[in-house]
Structures are given as C-alpha cells and as structure tokens.
Amino acid sequence: MTPTQKAAMEQALEALEYIDSNYMSLPKLGNEASTALRELLEQPEQADEPVAYRSRLESGSYAYCNTPQFFDNAEALYTRPQPAAAIPEGWKLVPSVPTNEWINNLAKQQTGGLEEVPFMEIHQCIAELLAAAPQQKGGAA
C-alpha cells in the first residue's frame, strides 16, 4: 500500500467513524466498510513480491520472464521501487558493468585527454577488479 493509499483509507475510516458517532448509526454496509478499512490499516507492511525477472544477455540486451529459474543472473523486478540496501562505510556503489562515462573519466585522469587511450585495456582492468571484489555477506554483491 502506498502512503497516498494509506492516507486515503485513514481519511475514509475517520469520516465513517465521525458520521457513526455524530449523526446516525451506520447501516450494516457502513459498519462492514469500517471494519474492513480498520483491518487493512492494522495489517503489517509486507514486502513486495517480484512481478517479473530480467537477465542481461551477452549482447547487452535483456530477456524477461516470470520466473528466475531460467537464468543464472536473474534480477527481480517490482511494481514499485525497493528500498536501497545499506552500503557499508568505506565502500562505494559502482555499476557491475563499466559505463562509458566511467571509462572516459578514468582515461582523462590517466592521460589528460581521450586521444590514444587504450579503452579495451581500461574496460578489461575494471572488469577484472569487479570480478575480484569481495561479495556482500549473505547474498549477491
């Protein structure tokens, strides 16, 4: 439930309770609505379930499916963003596949420009560093 949905449900429940206590008793349907809203609002927040999975192919494009079992590197997709994982102090979050911007920035730092830069060597070096990086405890990196 989104914060907006929760706020709307709380307002509806408040309105029903106000009408019930200040004007007239609610009919059976109104009481059922109040009870249903109260129960929904009292439920603990549940983690979203993935709605699909995607896997990056060697070509760089993605394949999508509704189950992760067909891919070794399946990434879960959700209907709304998931909370970001905490990054331990002293660590940096970097893309698992080096971006052109990242490589260009490194090349500029090393050579002062982009002329005669060994892009493939830089890309390979970054890939090797990422492959050798320690994995997060209790899950994927």
Matching residue, tokens 């405890």:
137
pLDDT value, residue 83: 65
The SS3 assignment for 67 reads coil
The SS3 assignment for 3 reads helix
Q: Give strand pairing partners of 56.
A: 62
pLDDT value, residue 105: 81
Matching residue, tokens 């699909």:
52
Reported as a single tens digit per residue, the pLDDT across 74-116 is 888 876 666 666 777 788 778 777 777 877 787 777 777 767 7
**80 versus 43: which is more confidently predicted?**
43
Is 48 within 8 Å of 79 (Cβ atoms)?
A: yes
How sure is the predictor about 53, in pLDDT bands with cuts at 50, 70 and 90? confident
Structure-derived torsion over alpha carbons of residues 89, 95, 99, 104, reported in degrees to the nearest 10: 10
pLDDT value, residue 141: 45
